[in-house]
Structure 1
Amino acid sequence: MRLPTWLTQHLAALRVLLVFTVLLGLAYPLAMVGVARLPGLNGRAEGSLVEGADGRVVGSRLIGQLFTDADGNPIPAYFQSRPSAAGDGYDPTSTAASNLGPESVLDTLATNPDDATRSLLTQVCSRSKAVGDLEGVDGRRPFCTPDGVGAVLAVFHRDGLTGPVTRAVSVNQACPATPFITDYQGVTVECAQPGQDYSGGVVTPIRGDAPAEPVVPADAVTASGSGLDPHISPTYARLQVPRVARERGVDPAAVQRLVKEHTTGRALGFMGEPAVNVLELNIALDRQFPVRG
């Protein structure tokens, strides 16, 4: 007995469905699980987890984390990671960047702190000052005020964009703050009043007298694109060595050797930059130089 054409077609489709279900739904996943269990690959397949000095899993070498106390202050005995824009910091469920670019130099001032926003320039300035204070080095950067905000004026001219200066406002310093410079082209600089519109002025960043090459490196004041970067530059790591060594009561040279041991070179010898995995470095510190009680 010959089956109807429509039934034959449906049976062929069912056979194809069953074959591909077995191949792609069972065989292929099981094969990948088997490959992931091979020596050298099993750790990566399980998330590249890292155990701390006490043998407990403390994180992944692929995802950075903060080394701060309950109040968000850096723990001095540990190397600090770079800033993170992912959630409250290194949140894998909120991986993101700030999406702020080099033209983000004006803060939004408000009497209610929840309504205020900081420009990328002010974020960089405040972070650089904080790192400088923590490490005991010069945290100044070009276009930053001594109190850690963007050194930007709104300059008003008599004829709009040209002519003599009639007014100058330090737009990122809310009153009653003292402006970072007293006068600009013969006009007294004012502090900014929250809620006031200064869009009629010419945005004028002021470089200041900060060194051309800041002591605090760029990765100490900027977040990565993912917000999860587990690495810092060797330059930033070296900057932290004296503090970490002092807090742990060890020779800075010994801490510097650990930094060198945990520094990876460029991929394939030419891609990227050398980097230091902060989590692995801090675990090595706890194993070799435990924090004094």
Structure 2
Amino acid sequence: MRYPSWIRQHLAALRALLVLTVLLGVVYPLAVFAVGRIPGLKDHADGSYVTLHGTRVGSAIIGQSFTAENGDPLTRYFQSRPSNAGDGYDPTATAASNLGPEDVVDTLPDPRLVTTGKADENARQSLLTQVCARSKAVGELEGVNGARPFCTPGGVGAVLAVFGPRTTAGAVPHPTRVVSLNEEEGVVKAPFLATYNGVPVELARFGEDYAAGLTVPIRGDAPARPAVPADAVTASGSGLDPHISPAYAALQVRRVAKARGITSAQVEALVKDETDGRDLGFMGEARVNVLKLNIALDRRFPVRG
């Protein structure tokens, strides 16, 4: 018996649906699950969880913070790289800030809210100010100079709006007015620079438009190679990076040793043991897994009391 063409087409479609359902909905998932059970792959498939004294304390492939309830860093632990994923290291909100090197001007908060201790939801820190603020905070925590080029001593981007007639090249050789864009009147007492080309520098006023001025970042006298490494002040693309550079780990050794009552040499040896080299000897950079390092610290040098 020969069925009409439309019935044959529907039967063929049904057979294809059944075959693909079995292959892709049953066979393939079971095959992937079986591969994930192979010794050597099982830990990765399960999430690379790390345990301490039988308790799951995190994942080796997802970063986390080591801070007190108020957000202050715990001095006895190595600190992780900054994160822009959600509230920090949120795997459901993995993301970067998507801000580029030309993002140097802040959206200032309403000073009336600042003085009452409230946050202005419309305010926004530029990428430059984020880097400057982090570098200042890390410098204070580790007892080193947190200064960076193009950053003010107060930890914001050192950026001016320069007003006046411009040359054909866009420069302002004879400014008539100069404003420090990221330092707000009522929040900061004085600008980071008193004068620019002989013109007094003003503090920025909330709500005032400075778009007509020429944006001029000021390098300042900070060292070309800051004491605070780049990975201490910039977030990774995923926001979940569990590693820090050996340089950032070395910066934290003295603080961790003091908090645990041990020598810096003991901590340095542990950092060396927990440092992973380049993959296959040539890919990527040397790195330190912060969670594994802190667990090793608690096992070898537990905090007393």
TM-score (norm 1): 0.94
Paired letter, 1:242: R
Q: How far apart, in 1, do the equivalents of 2:148 and 2:139 lie?
A: 10
Is contact 2:76-2:255 (8 Å) kept? yes
Paired letter, 1:171: L
- 1:119 paired with 2:126, answer yes
Q: How far apart, in 2, do the equivalents of 1:288 and 1:246 lie?
A: 15
Query: What corresponds to 1:77 in structure 2?
Result: 76
Paired letter, 1:137: V
Query: What corresponds to 2:90 in structure 1?
Result: 91
Q: How many equivalent residue pairs?
A: 291
Q: Please give the residue correspondences for 1:92-107 in structure 2 after superposition, counting only pairs within 5 Å.
A: 92-107=91-106
Paired letter, 2:59: S
Q: How far apart, in 2, do the equivalents of 1:9 and 1:165 lie?
A: 78
- 1:35 paired with 2:47, answer no
Q: Please give the residue correspondences for 1:158-173 in structure 2 after superposition, counting only pairs within 5 Å.
A: 158=165, 162-173=172-183
Structure 2, unmatched stretches of 5+, are 114-119
Query: What corresponds to 2:142 in structure 1?
Result: 135
Please tell me the root mean square deviation across aligned C-alpha atoms, in Å: 1.6
Is contact 2:172-2:214 (8 Å) kept? no
User: Kindly tell me: are residues 26 and 187 of structure 1, through their superposed partners in 2, closer, same or farther at Cα, counting changes over 3 Å?
Assistant: same
Shift of 1:158: 4.3
Query: What corresponds to 2:195 in structure 1?
Result: 183
Equivalent of residue 244 in structure 1, options 237, 252, 256: 256
**1:150-185 deviation digits (Å, cap 9, x = unpaired):** 111111124585452211111110013211111111
Q: How far apart, in 2, do the equivalents of 1:255 and 1:109 lie?
A: 42
Q: Secondary structure at the match of 1:58?
A: strand
Q: How far apart, in 1, do the equivalents of 2:87 and 2:12 lie?
A: 54
Q: Secondary structure at the match of 1:199?
A: coil
User: Kindly tell me: are residues 114 and 14 of structure 1, through their superposed partners in 2, closer, same or farther at Cα, counting changes over 3 Å?
Assistant: closer
Structure 1, unmatched stretches of 5+, are none
User: Kindly tell me: are residues 190 and 34 of structure 1, through their superposed partners in 2, closer, same or farther at Cα, counting changes over 3 Å?
Assistant: same
Equivalent of residue 174 in structure 1, options 160, 166, 184: 184
**1:27-56 deviation digits (Å, cap 9, x = unpaired):** 22222222211111111111111112x221
- 1:156 paired with 2:166, answer no
Is contact 2:179-2:203 (8 Å) kept? yes
Query: What corresponds to 1:25 in structure 2?
Result: 25
